Amino acid sequence: MQSFFSSSLIARSLAAPATWLALVVTLTGLALWRWRKPLAGLAGALRPVAVWGQKGLGFDWMNVQIAQTTVGAADALRRTQTGQLGWNVAGVLIGLLVVALAMTVWG
């Protein structure tokens, strides 16, 4: 019976680029936390980037524009609906009848 942690599984895991990337990110985070006091000046220098990130990186403006366009289109389409389903169905059926008669006559 083979063990769950076979040597080939461990070897493949250690050879995978994703494993090394995860280790590098983890160690970088630990190092930044360890030296956070000396790096406080860098945080002040990066304040404009942080403010820009807190403002949504410009995506909020784009989201508002898309939402306003969608609401405007929905409002325009809402005005075309009379709410009288019976008349709408009758109009569609009469239109189909006219098209069918026209195709029969000019066949």
Q: What is the pLDDT of residues 82-107, one digit of tens each?
A: 777 788 788 899 999 999 999 999 87
Residue that the structure tokens 């195709």 belong to: 103
Mean pLDDT of the chain: 86
Domains in the chain: how many in total?
2
CA distance 57 to 70: 22
85, containing H or E segment? helix 85-106
Better-predicted residue by pLDDT, 59 or 66 = 66
Q: How far is CA 107 from CA 24, 34, 102, in A?
A: 75, 85, 8
**Domain presence at residue 51:** no
Give the pTM: 0.36
Q: Are residues 65 and 85 in the same domain?
A: yes
Q: Judge if 5 and 31 occupy the same domain.
A: yes
Same domain for 23 and 65, yes or no, is no
Domain interval for residue 107: 57-107
Please give the span between the terminal C-alpha atoms of the chain, in angstroms, as a whole number. Answer: 78
Model confidence at 3, in pLDDT bands (50, 70, 90)?
low
Element (H, E) at 47: helix 47-54
